Structure formats: structure tokens, C-alpha cells
Chain A
Amino acid sequence: MTWPATPSPETFVLRLFVTGTTTRSQRAIANIRKICDEYLTGRCDLEVVDVYLHPEATRDYQIVATPTLVKILPEPLRRIVGDLSDRARVLASLNIPLAGGPVEALP
């Protein structure tokens, strides 16, 4: 896949909080991987956190439910709850335009 040239591609730092192998968590993992592959090739730092194993990690980002995707960078910090199957909503929350590269800011 070719990626449209951008002047300064930013790296996305994402963190996905899940609960082990529950269905929605599994689905959320699969969905965000696809989005990263398609829209953020080479500039996506994704970390999946199992809250069963690291319950304290939820405190820093004020996680109230799983699965939750947190966009740490670029700012502002954003949380998206659910299995991330509504791609348009996910892209909008991540501030990624549907057609191409990221737009600086939402109006």
C-alpha cells in the first residue's frame, strides 16, 4: 500500500486496555491493528494492556471500562470505549481523515 506523502508524519502513541481474552477485548485488538496497518503504517506505537495482570495501570489514564483505547500522542489525550468496530468514529476520535493523512485540528 502506498502512503500519500506528508510533510511531517507524527507518531501515534496508543494504548489499548483489555481484560484477557474476553470477546470484545479480542475484537478491539483486531480492529485497532487493522486501523494501524491501514492508516498509520510505520508511525504507530500500540501497546495492549491486560488489566487483569496490571490493574493499577488503569489508574493513570482513568480507565473505567474495557476495552478502552487511549490516544496519548498526538495531543490532546483521547479515550474511546468499545470494541472499535465503528471505524468512522474511531478515525474521527483519533483525528485521522478518512481519505488520507491526518488533519491538524478538528474545527
Chain B
Amino acid sequence: MSVNDDVLRALEARNRALEAELEEATATLDAIRNGEVDAVVVGGPAGQIVYTLENADRPYRVIVEQMREGAVTLGGDGTILYCNQSFATLIDQPSDQVVGQSIFDFVAEHTVLETVFGSATTAGQSIELTLLTPLGDPVPSNISIVELAVEIGMDRMLCMIVTDLRQNYQRAREVAEANRRLAREIADRTRIEESLVIALDAAEMGSWDLDLASGKAIRSVRHDAIFGHEPMLADWSLDRTLSHFIAADREAAAAAFHAAEKTGRLDFERRIQRAGDGAVRWVHLRGRTFHREGRPERIAGIITDNTERRLVEEQLRQSLKMEAIGQLTGGVAHDFNNLLMIIGGSLESLARRAQLGERAQKLLDAAQVGVARGAKLNQQLLAFARRQDMHDDVVCLTDLLPTFETLLDRAIGEGVTVEIQQEPELWPCRTDAHQLETAILNLAFNARDAMANSGKLSLATANVTIGEEEARRFDAQAGDYVAVCVSDIGPGIDPEVAARVFEPFFTTKELGKGTGLGLSQVYGFARQSGGFVRFDSVVGQGTTVTIYLPRAEPVAAPSPIIEPASVRGTADGSVLLVEDDADVRAAASAMLEELGYEIVEVASGDAALEVLDGGRPVDLVFTDVIMASGMSGIELARTINERRPGLPVLLTSGYTAQKLSPTSIHGELPLLRKPYTLAQLSEALGGLQRGRGPKAAGGGGVVAV
């Protein structure tokens, strides 16, 4: 083989390659000639330039014509070279009239547009401008401007896309309005929620919301606090709620929750043991069940600690009961006093008139003792009913203690020792020393009986300030009190019995040993003094009764003087006797006659006034206070005071003095309490004639009219 062969082969290969290139070039030319291409690419000094052939860009034109945005091409001076239908519609003009006009005629912000024109680049920029329309409203628009690359030496060209922002603005406004509405609603709800929180807090209510599926609950701070958890716990479950109920109440509480899923309502009051101090408290739970797709989903509600309220309610019930019993007792005692008056008066008259044998005299004496005992019993009843004639003295109990001590030593016998604990700086208080003495004696007797005649009795005094809450419990006023405290170390009594001890005729003593009026007297006396009584008893430890008497400003208080009453010799003068009860009138008349008075009897106040107006000489008027018809004794006294000033009037009543004083004029009238003895009547009338009222111990008092 030769070199020639190689050369030949190389030439052949070269020839084939050239033929292939030629074929390709021919094919390319054919393709161009036949219109099979869209664009030709020409290389030049400015780089590769693509020339799109006519009609090749039809899809672009269709897109541009169809799109909702306005499309505009502009010359460098702002002349509109082309615009699509959307732009023409936007500015409300036929598109063929728009072409040739300046874009500046359609834009409000000239300076801004000029700046954008000057700085437009091929990267493009976007700005919000206002498009002017010859007839309609201005259109807020977004305008994007791109500099179109053109060959060197050619005029500048810009492309502009205009987007109508009215809908965007409208939507933005709607969104803003919706947002504002939402914000308002949230604010309203927040306010309502806040008021709810304030209201719940003010009502001392805790709130809770229990999810039944998980058993977990969302709660307020107070909810946890009521259960004794402060600060509140991280989480809470129904089991935790139930575990707080005391064993006796737990099952009922669980059942209530269970039932609420069916009934839709929860409402029960049970006892819990509070965490922390371990106190047993009454709580009231109320709630409602919420359903989802017909199944109970959660229970939400509130909780309150009702312990204080229950206590106050219990006290209120107690005091209402005592008040009712008091009313009844007072009425009964009044009627009995009238009866005793008749019996006692008659017996006394009988005793003075008839010459009796020894045996008859004994019987009469026994009858009179009976009347006296009945009268004493009635006094105790009236004391409980707070219709006792009370002396309202300022007293320092420390001064009275020695007297009390002597009294106690004598009253309770040798088996019981007495211990006195006195507050050295004791405040003065306002009370009736005699009644206090009786009250302490009553308490001492109870203590002695409780300790079966052997043990220790303490009498203590103290200064005490009572706060609002405690005062409410005892239906009393808050403030300073002097406390007198009588304690024994007897067996004590259980709470159910303790609740009844102040009731009249309630006694735990054997039949015949007690009247059941001792503590009633103490209660009535304390209330009437403006104070109250506290009864504390623990089974196995003893009983303490404390009398609280209101503190008073100190004054020099004279101790009451007790004068024995006696029948003063024969009296003279004429007495106008006013009494509606014929039997009582007869008894009184007999007694007056016994004393030597001349008597004019009438049955009513009106009749009495008639007698006086008729000119009959009368030296004294003796009148009952309460009369079934017409004016009362007090009204009569007032009228007499107006018509016959200086004519002495003595009032008598089996009921009460203070209760009946609708005072409108000043002055005081003496009062004689029924039943009275001949001696007491004599003393009272005598005193009246001498120009002063009867003494308190004579069974009398004064009444303001």
C-alpha cells in the first residue's frame, strides 16, 4: 500500500463530511424557504439577535389581547404605539383612538411617571398610579414598565402592563371592614368575659369546665382556692374534685355528676375537706351539660363555698324561732298576770276582811304563796320575751363581782368550788344589775346541776370586740362588749340539744328539777340589754355560757336601792279606777277600798274622761295600760295631762312597759306591774300622792309618755 491510498481515503472522508454539511445547509435553506421556521438568528457585533417571522408570534398577540390587564407599548416620549382592548376599556375609549396619544394624558401623577420613564430598565419596575378616564372616576392602578431592548440607533421603546386595582382595593376594604368587625366582636366578648370574671369574683364563685371524654377540667383561680389550693394547681380532673368530698358525701357527689350527663343539670350541696387547713366546708356546685352530636361532651358551671351562709341562715332561723316563741310567751304571761291579779287581789282582800281560823288561814297563805310563785314564773317568761321592765344603768361589773361571789358560794353549795377571773381594766357596760344577778344565778344553778354538786365553776369577765362577721352570726351589732363567762367542767351536751337550750320550758333536768326558764331568762335579758349570749358545749369537757353586754361610756352609776314595801296606814282621797276586765277591776277595787280610798270605777278611757269632765272630784287616776277597746292607758294619761295637769296617774300592766311607748310628749309616768300586792299598791299610790313614783322593786317602773 502506498501513501496515495491514504491520501485518497482522506479525501474521500473529507468529501463525505462536506457532502453531509452541504446536505444540512440545503435542508436548512429549504426549511427557511418553505416557512418551516419561526425565527432566524443573526450574529452581529451587538451579539446574537433573534428575528421573529411574521405571524410566528400570534399566540403572544392572542394572550395579550385576551388578558384582563391593560398592555401598552410606548415610544420614548410617552406616545402610545399600541394598546390592547383591556387598556382601551379601562380608560373608556376606542383603542384606535388611543394609539398616538400621550400616556401622560391618562395618568394623574405626571412627575412620578416621568421619573419612572427616566429610570426604566429592561428588568422593569412597578408602581401604583391613578389612571384618568375622560368621563368616569379615576382608576387606581398598578403599572409595570419595562424598557424594550432595541438595536443601536433605534428609538427607545417601553412596554407597560396596567392592572386595575379597584377590585383589589374593594376587597382590601372589605377585609379591613371584616377585620374591624371581628376586632369589635372580640373586644365585646373580652369585655363580657371580664365582667363575668368580676361578677363571679364578687359573688365569690369559682368557675369550672369539665371535659367528659378526658375527665380534665379548666377552672378559675377561685375554684382551686375554694378547694384549698393556692396558688392553683397545674391540672385538675373530676377524680380530684370527687376526692375532696368527705367520705359520707363522695358517693352522692359522683352520682350527681353522673346524673348530670343525662339530665343536663348539676345542682348539689355537699361537704368537702379543704386542702391545706383540712377544714370541712359546704360547697354548692351548679352546672349545665353541653352536647355534641347528641352526646354529652362537657359540663361547665360554678362553685361557691356556702359554709358561712349556712351558718348565718341557721342563726337567722334560730333567732326567728326565738322571736316567735318570745311573742307567744309574752302573750301567755300577760294573760296569766291578769288572772293572778284577780286571784291575788281577792285573796288579800279576803284575808283582811274575814276572821279566819288557823286552818283556813294556812290554806289562804298557801294560795297566796302560789300566786307569788306564779307571778315569779311569769316574770321569768316576760324576761325571756324581753318584756321585762329593764333598768338601763351604766354598771362596772368589777364592782359587782364580790356580791356575785358571795351569792354563788351560797347558791351552789360546798361541793363546787368557785373561781373568779376578772379583767382588771374592765369596760363599763349598760345593763340591769338585778337581772344580771338573776342570769348569773341561773347559769350557776345549771353548772352545779351539770357537775352533780361537785367540780369547779369559773366566772370570768373580759373586754371583747366583736367584728361584723361574728356579730352577724349572733344577729347582733358589731362593736365593743363586756363578756361575762360562766364555765363548768360537767359532761357537756351534744350540738342538737345545744340548739334548743334557750327555748322556754326546754330542760335536760329531771322532771320537777328545772323550770326550763333559766337560760331563757339569760337569753331574753342579754337581748334586751342590746347584747347576746353564746353557748359552747363540748361533750366530755364542759359547758361555757358567755353573756355579751354592750360597752358604755363610764358615768357615776348609783347602785340600785331596794326598799321593802309596806302597807301605809289608811289613805284618803278618791281614785278613778280604769280597767276593762271586770274581774280584775273588782279585785283592784276591793284592794283600793281596803286602803281606804273612795273609788270611781269605769271600764274604758273614754268613760274616765267623761267622769273627769263631769266635775267629780278625783285625786288620783289608776289605769290599766292595755284595754280591749278605745284608748290605751298611756293615751288616757296623756289626755289627762293636757286637760287636768297635775292630776297624778298610776299605770298598771301585766305585760310590758317599754313596748308600749309611742312617746310624743315628754315626761314619765309611774307603772305598777301586775300582779301587785296590797302593800305594793299602797306604796305606789302613796308615792304618787307624795309626788314621786313607786320604786322599781315594788314591781313598778316608769313609762315614758
Looking at B24, B27, B40, B41, which has the most chain A CB atoms within 10 Å of its CB?
B41
Query: Quick check: B41 and A64 within 8 Å, CB to CB?
Result: yes
Query: Quick check: B59 and A66 within 8 Å, CB to CB?
Result: no
Within 8 A of B (CB), among A38-60: 51-52, 55-56, 58-59
Q: Is A79 an interface residue (CB 8 A)?
A: yes
Q: Is A76 an interface residue (CB 8 A)?
A: yes
Specify which chain A residues have a CB less than 8 angstroms from the CB of B40 in the assembled complex.
64-66
Query: Quick check: B37 and A23 within 8 Å, CB to CB?
Result: no
Q: Is A21 an interface residue (CB 8 A)?
A: yes
Query: Quick check: A55 and B38 within 8 Å, CB to CB?
Result: no
Which of A56, A65, A76, A79 has a CB less than 8 Å from the CB of B37? Answer: A65
Q: Is B28 an interface residue (CB 8 A)?
A: yes
Query: Quick check: B41 and A24 within 8 Å, CB to CB?
Result: no
User: CB-CB contacts of B23-58 with A at 8 A, as 1s and 0s?
Assistant: 010011001100011111111000111101000111
Query: Quick check: A51 and B41 within 8 Å, CB to CB?
Result: yes
Query: Separation in Å of the B37 CB from the closest CB of chain A?
Result: 4
Query: Quick check: B49 and A55 within 8 Å, CB to CB?
Result: yes
Q: Is B324 an interface residue (CB 8 A)?
A: no
Whole-angstrom CA separation of A51 from B41 in the bound complex: 9
Whole-angstrom CA separation of A52 from B56 in the bound complex: 13
Query: Quick check: A58 and B37 within 8 Å, CB to CB?
Result: no
Looking at A58, A63, A65, which has the most chain B CB atoms within 10 Å of its CB?
A65
Q: Contacts A64-B41, A82-B36 given: A19-B31 contact, CB under 8 Å?
A: no
Whole-angstrom CA separation of A67 from B52 in the bound complex: 11
* CB nearest neighbor in A for B50: A51
Query: Quick check: A63 and B52 within 8 Å, CB to CB?
Result: no
Q: Is A15 an interface residue (CB 8 A)?
A: no
Specify which chain B residues have a CB less than 8 angstroms from the CB of A23 in the assembled complex.
38, 56, 58-59
Total A-B Cβ pairs within 8 A: 82
Q: Is B196 an interface residue (CB 8 A)?
A: no
Which of A26, A52, A55 has a CB less than 8 Å from the CB of B47? Answer: A55
Whole-angstrom CA separation of A65 from B42 in the bound complex: 9
Specify which chain A residues have a CB less than 8 angstroms from the CB of B52 in the assembled complex.
19, 22
Chain A's interface size range is 20 to 34
Query: Quick check: A21 and B37 within 8 Å, CB to CB?
Result: no
Specify which chain B residues have a CB less than 8 angstroms from the CB of A65 in the assembled complex.
28, 31-32, 37, 39-41
Query: Separation in Å of the B478 CB from the closest CB of chain A?
Result: 94
Query: Quick check: A66 and B24 within 8 Å, CB to CB?
Result: no
Whole-angstrom CA separation of A81 from B39 in the bound complex: 11
Query: Quick check: A56 and B27 within 8 Å, CB to CB?
Result: no
User: CB-CB contacts of B255-287 with A at 8 A, as 1s and 0s?
Assistant: 000000000000000000000000000000000
Query: Separation in Å of the A33 CB from the closest CB of chain B?
Result: 18
Query: Quick check: A24 and B50 within 8 Å, CB to CB?
Result: no
Query: Quick check: A21 and B60 within 8 Å, CB to CB?
Result: yes
Q: Is B20 an interface residue (CB 8 A)?
A: yes
Specify which chain A residues have a CB less than 8 angstroms from the CB of B27 in the assembled complex.
80-81
Query: Quick check: B60 and A20 within 8 Å, CB to CB?
Result: yes
Query: Quick check: A21 and B59 within 8 Å, CB to CB?
Result: yes
Query: Quick check: B37 and A67 within 8 Å, CB to CB?
Result: yes
Chain B's interface size range is 20 to 34
Which of A66, A68, A80 has a CB less than 8 Å from the CB of B50? Answer: A66
Q: Contacts A22-B39, A82-B37 given: A56-B47 contact, CB under 8 Å?
A: yes
Query: Quick check: B60 and A81 within 8 Å, CB to CB?
Result: no
Within 8 A of A (CB), among B556-589: none
Specify which chain A residues have a CB less than 8 angstroms from the CB of B20 in the assembled complex.
76
Query: Quick check: B38 and A19 within 8 Å, CB to CB?
Result: yes
Whole-angstrom CA separation of A67 from B35 in the bound complex: 11
Specify which chain A residues have a CB less than 8 angstroms from the CB of B49 in the assembled complex.
55
User: CB-CB contacts of A56-93 with B at 8 A, as 1s and 0s?
Assistant: 10110001111110000000101111110000000000
Query: Quick check: B36 and A51 within 8 Å, CB to CB?
Result: no
Specify which chain B residues have a CB less than 8 angstroms from the CB of A24 in the assembled complex.
36-38, 56
Query: Quick check: B39 and A51 within 8 Å, CB to CB?
Result: yes
Whole-angstrom CA separation of A80 from B60 in the bound complex: 25
Whole-angstrom CA separation of A83 from B39 in the bound complex: 12
Within 8 A of B (CB), among A1-32: 18-26
Query: Quick check: A81 and B28 within 8 Å, CB to CB?
Result: yes
Specify which chain A residues have a CB less than 8 angstroms from the CB of B38 in the assembled complex.
18-19, 22-25, 66-67
Whole-angstrom CA separation of A18 from B56 in the bound complex: 12
Specify which chain B residues have a CB less than 8 angstroms from the CB of A82 in the assembled complex.
31, 36-37
Query: Separation in Å of the A28 CB from the closest CB of chain B?
Result: 9
Whole-angstrom CA separation of A59 from B50 in the bound complex: 12
Query: Separation in Å of the A6 CB from the closest CB of chain B?
Result: 25
Query: Quick check: B50 and A55 within 8 Å, CB to CB?
Result: yes
Q: Contacts A55-B41, A56-B48, A81-B31 given: A22-B36 contact, CB under 8 Å?
A: no
Q: List 17 A-B contacts (CB under 8 A).
A: A19-B39, A20-B60, A22-B56, A51-B41, A52-B50, A55-B41, A56-B48, A64-B40, A65-B28, A65-B37, A65-B41, A66-B39, A67-B37, A76-B17, A81-B27, A81-B36, A81-B37
The 6 closest A-B pairs by CB, nearest first: A82-B36, A22-B38, A65-B37, A81-B31, A55-B48, A19-B39
For the complex with contacts A19-B50, A66-B39, A67-B38, 13 further pairs of A-B residues with Cβ separation under 8 Å are A22-B56, A22-B59, A23-B38, A24-B37, A24-B56, A26-B59, A51-B39, A51-B41, A59-B43, A65-B37, A65-B39, A68-B37, A81-B28
Question: Interface on B for A, CB 8 Å cutoff?
Answer: 17, 20, 24, 27-28, 31-32, 36-43, 47-50, 52, 56-60
